[in-house]
Amino acid sequence: MLEGTKPVDNVGLVEPKTAHFSESLALASGSELHGFDIVYETYGELNKERSNAILICHALSGDHHVAGYHTPQDKKPGWWDNAIGPNKAIDTNRFFVVSPNNIGGCSGSTGPLTTNADTGKPYGPDFPLVTVKDWVKTQTMLADQLGIDVWAVIIGGSLGGMQCLEWSIAYPDRLKHTFVIAAAPKLSTQNIAFNEVARQAIRSDQNFNDGHYYENDNKPELGLMLARMLGHITYLSDDALDEKFGRELRDGEIKFGYEAEFQIESYLRYQGRAFVGRFDANSYLLLTKVLDYFDPASETGGSLAKALAPATAEFLVISFSSDWRFSPERSQEIVSALLDADKCVSYIEIQSKQGHDSFLMPIPRYHQVMSTALDRIAEGLGIA
């Protein structure tokens, strides 16, 4: 069915690949990972000069499947298909796009679901906590394996934007440009608070069993569902929810009970259940910690400008007017620090209604800004 209906600007059918690393990885926590896999996808062709590579860093619940379809039966394409493909904002006719799944996740790269060779069982809660720094380190190893010394651009939204910042600080020679989208230089107290409620929802589920739930038939589904429901509310704006659901009732009348009566209730429950089907609770716990820990300025006496001092990349910082989870003010903190550190930076706040999720939406001005910047980058590379 997809054959005839698939838009011509799609990357089409794609197949995830796996990169294996046998060496030990020393993690920021002091733990070590004895070998690991990274699952990734690529779109477009790496040119002879190896100069046209773009790295996409995913956010909390994202993965390596960014564009195209895995099978002709897939109902949905990758999570950023509206931005990546032939003649799209991130044009795969010109650029070679690489999208890895970070370790600690649950989409194929080594994480809590992976069998621990020492025990023969899944790591589960024993999978070491990782940081953005660890992720970026593994991404450099993937880049080495793919023969990419320097990324033309590294692009990431939300937690992905934090990876962009880390790349620019830790490996300044390995990227020319970076698009830091709907990001923050560190989580606010309120953001950590939301994450803590999500974690407590999971950890207090009676099936959680301290994270050792793989052996049982029962997973902490209710807890993970609650965590996602909470997260989902914070990713959308008040206006977006109001516009979509208002106070609409499922059956047209109040029933004086606790079943889902308002449309928003059944929507949230549906979103929560769908998430439980594709995500692992231990991974979710770990990923919220990755977010909480990120704070590059903590290593330079609280000064983000000092933290960013090593960066040589040209920055494009993009925020969204209705995003209250990673508000424009948080992006402006990044911009201020970059100005203070005398870096090349452009900044725009895109007018949007969809809250934090705006960064996933095909907002024309947003995509125009990215494609305009990429046109210029392509011109500089002689691949326009």
Partner 1 sequence: MSLRTDQALIAEWIKPGSRALDLGCGDGTLMAHLQQHQEVKGYGLEIDEENIVQCIHKGVDVIQTDLDKGLSEFKKDTFDYVIMTQTLQAIRYPDKLLKEMTRVGREAIVTFPNMGHWKNRIQLALAGHMPKSKTLPYEWYNTPNIHLCTLTDFENLCGANNIEILDRATVDHEHQSSLGMKLFPNLLGEIAIYRFRQND
- Contacts with partner 1 by CB under 8 A lie at 314, 316, 335-336, 339-340, 344-351, 365, 368-369, 372-373, 375-376
String of DSSP letters for 313-379: SEEEEEEETT-SSS-HHHHHHHHHHHHHTT--EEEEEE--SSGGGGGGS--HHHHHHHHHHHHHHHH
Q: Which residue of the set 168, 323, 327, 352 is catalytic?
A: 323
Shorter beta-carbon distance to partner 1: residue 152 or 286: 152
Q: Which residue of the set 61, 322, 356, 358 is catalytic?
A: 356
Distance in angstroms (rounded) separating the CA atoms of residues 174 and 286 = 27
- Give the Cβ contact number of residue 75 at 10 Å: 7
Shorter beta-carbon distance to partner 1: residue 93 or 351: 351
Minimum CB–partner distance for residue 316 and partner 1 (Å):
8
Please give the biggest Cα pair distance in the chain.
Answer: 67
Classify 211 in phi/psi space as left (phi over 0), alpha (psi -120 to 50) or beta. Answer: left
Shorter beta-carbon distance to partner 1: residue 295 or 340: 340
Classify 277 in phi/psi space as left (phi over 0), alpha (psi -120 to 50) or beta. Answer: alpha
Shorter beta-carbon distance to partner 1: residue 312 or 368: 368
Minimum CB–partner distance for residue 356 and partner 1 (Å):
19
Q: Which residue of the set 51, 99, 107, 158 is catalytic?
A: 158
Minimum CB–partner distance for residue 150 and partner 1 (Å):
19
Shorter beta-carbon distance to partner 1: residue 106 or 307: 307
* Residue 323 designated active-site: yes
Minimum CB–partner distance for residue 366 and partner 1 (Å):
10
What is the three-state SS of 62-103? Answer: CCCCCCCECCCCCCCCCCCCCCEECCCCEECCCCEEEEECCC
CA neighbor of 72 nearest in space, from 14, 146, 153: 14
Minimum CB–partner distance for residue 352 and partner 1 (Å):
12
Active site residues: 158, 323, 356
